[in-house]
Amino acid sequence: MNYGQVFDEAIGRLHKEGRYRVFIDIMRNKGAYPNARCFHGHNGPKPITVWCSNDYLAMGQHPKVIEAMENALHDVGAGSGGTRNIGGNTHLHVELERELADLHGKEGALLFTSGYVSNDATLSTLAKLLPGCVIFSDELNHASMIAGIRNSGCEKRVFRHNDLEHLEQLLAAEDFDTPKVIAFESVYSMDGDVAPIHAICDLAEKYNALTYIDEVHAVGMYGEHGGGISERDEAAHRIDIIEGTLGKAFGVMGGYIAADTRVIDCIRSYAPGFIFTTSLSPVLVAGVLAAVKHLKSSNEERDAQQAAAALLKEKMRKAGLPVMPSVTHIVPLMIGDPVRAKQISDILLAEYGVYVQPINFPTVPRGTERLRFTPGPAHTAEMMDELVTALVEIWDRMELELRKAA
Ligand SMILES: Cc1ncc(COP(=O)(O)O)c(C=O)c1O
pLDDT tens per residue, range 305-361: 999 999 999 999 999 999 999 899 999 999 999 999 999 999 999 999 999 999 988
- The pairing of strands 210-214 and 241-245 is parallel
Select from 245, 252, 256, 277 the residue to mutate for testing ligand 1; criterion: most ligand atoms less than 8 Å from CB.
245
Residue 60 DSSP code: G
208 C-alpha to center of ligand 1: Å? 28
Select from 216, 217, 229, 359 the residue to mutate for testing ligand 1; criterion: most ligand atoms less than 8 Å from CB.
216
Q: What is the pLDDT of residues 388-403, one digit of tens each?
A: 999 999 999 999 988 8
Alpha-carbon distance of 178 to 190, in angstroms, equals 33
- Who wins on pLDDT, 167 or 189? 167
Q: Which residues line ligand 1 (CB under 6 A)?
A: 114-116, 119, 142, 144, 185, 189, 214, 216-217, 245, 247, 255
**CA-derived radius of gyration, the chain:** 22
Ranges 115-129, 282-296, 358-372, 382-396: which has the least confidence: 358-372
The set of catalytic residues is: 248
Q: What is the pLDDT of residues 51-76, one digit of tens each?
A: 999 999 999 999 999 999 999 999 99
219 C-alpha to center of ligand 1: Å? 12
pLDDT recorded at residue 274: 98
- The pairing of strands 155-159 and 134-138 is parallel
Mean pLDDT computed over every residue of the chain: 96
116 C-alpha to center of ligand 1: Å? 5
Q: What is the pLDDT of residues 110-146, one digit of tens each?
A: 999 999 999 999 999 999 999 999 999 999 999 999 9
pTM of the model: 0.96
pLDDT recorded at residue 397: 95
406 C-alpha to center of ligand 1: Å? 34
- Is residue 22 pLDDT above 90, yes or no? no
Q: What is the pLDDT of residues 182-223, one digit of tens each?
A: 999 999 999 899 999 999 999 999 999 999 999 999 999 999
Alpha-carbon distance of 266 to 117, in angstroms, equals 16
Name the E strands within 13-142: 26-28, 35-38, 46-50, 108-112, 134-138
